[in-house]
Structure 1
C-alpha cells in the first residue's frame, strides 16, 4: 500500500496512478471511476494498480488525505485562539471545496467499512486535530479539541449530504467555533 517504503520506480507508478485517479475523478465522478480505468489512464495494468490500492474507497481516501496534507497551511493572523480556529476551519473548508469531486468521493469512502481505509481515516482525523492544536496553541484542553473534531466532522458530513454548501460550512463553523471556545480565549 502507498505508505510502505517505495523504490523510485514504485514511487513513479504511485504518482502516475494518483494523477490519473485525480483526472479521472474530475472527469467522470466517483460513481463511474474504476481502478481499471485509472490503471489504463496511468499506463499500468489493473493488477499493478491493485498492488497499490485495495479498492476505490482506498484510492479516494488516499487522494483526500494527500489533498489535505499537500495544501498550504493557513496564515493564522488572529490574536485569539478562537479567531485562529475560525481561520483554520475556514481554510480547511476552502481546501476541501476546491476539489468537489474528491470531497464527494471522500465522504462516501471515509464513512464506509473498507478495512483498507481505516488507517487513512485516522490520518485525516490527525490532520484536523493537528491543525486545531496549532490554532489553539498550548495548552489544549482535550475536551475542547474533541468538541471541535466532532463539530467539524459532523459539519463535513452534513455538507456531504447536501444540506449546505462549503461556503456556508465555513460561515456556520465560525459560529460553532465561537460557542466551543467560550471561556477559552
Structure 2
C-alpha cells in the first residue's frame, strides 16, 4: 500500500489494518443507506452498525458520533475525488472548475448534503479534526488552481464563499446544483 493509499484508509482516530478498513467501509456504506431512508435526524449509530452487521460498540470504536461518521464520509469523498485537470492558462477557469467539483460532490444526494452541513457544524472533537483536514484540502486545491500567483486574501475569500454556500444549501435555500452556479458567479466577482 502506498503512502497515498494509507492516508485514504487512515481514519480520524487511528490508522487502519485491512480488516478494520473493511469494517469502516461497511459502516460508511450502511450509513448512506440509513441516511437515505431515515434522514440525518433519524439516523443513529446503532442503526448504521446493524446495517453493517457489526455491534454498536464496534461502530463507536471508529466513530464517536453520527456527525463524525458523516464528516468522515464527506472527507473520504473529497480526498478521493480528483481535482479537475485544466490546462487553461486562466486561473479563474481553474478555480471555477475546482469550486464546481467540490460543490457537486454531494449534489445528487439531498439527505447526505444536508447531513454534511449539520455534521460539519458539530462540536465533536473528531469532527473539528476533520473540518481542519477538509479546510486544508480545499485551501490546497484553490491555491493550486490560482498558482503561481495565489493571493492569500483571495484564497481566504474563496474559502468563505464555499463555506457560506455549503451552509446556505444545507439550510435548504438552494440545491447543491443551484449553489454551484451561485458559487461560480460569486467567485468571478472575487477574482475580477
- Whether TM exceeds 0.5 here: the answer is yes
Instruction: State the shift of 1:143 in Å.
Output: 0.8
1:2 has 2:11 as partner = yes
Unaligned runs of 5+ in 1: none
Selected match of 1:91 from 71, 96, 101? 101
Aligned length: 182
Q: Which runs of 5+ in 2 are unaligned?
A: 1-9
* 8 Å contact kept, 1:63–1:102: no
Moved over 4 A (4+): none
- With normalisation by structure 1, the TM-score equals 0.91
2:37 maps to: 27
Q: 2:25 aligns with which of 3, 15, 19?
A: 15
Indicate conservation of the 8 Å contact 2:114/2:169, yes or no. no
Please name the residue that 2:46 is paired with: 36
Q: 1:163 to 1:78 in 2, by over 3 A?
A: farther
* C-alpha distance in structure 1 between counterparts of 2:145 and 2:170, whole Å: 25
Q: Distance in 1 between matches of 2:177 and 2:18?
A: 40
Alignment root-mean-square deviation, CA: 1.6
Give the secondary-structure state (helix, strand or coil) at the position aligned to 2:37.
helix
The CA deviation string for residues 28-84 of structure 1, in whole angstroms up to 9 with x for no partner, is: 221111101111111111011100011111111101111212223223253311111
TM-score by length of 2: 0.88
Matched residue SS, 2:40 = coil
> Aligned to 1:136, which of 146, 150, 155?
146
CA contact (8 A) 2:27 2:52 kept: yes
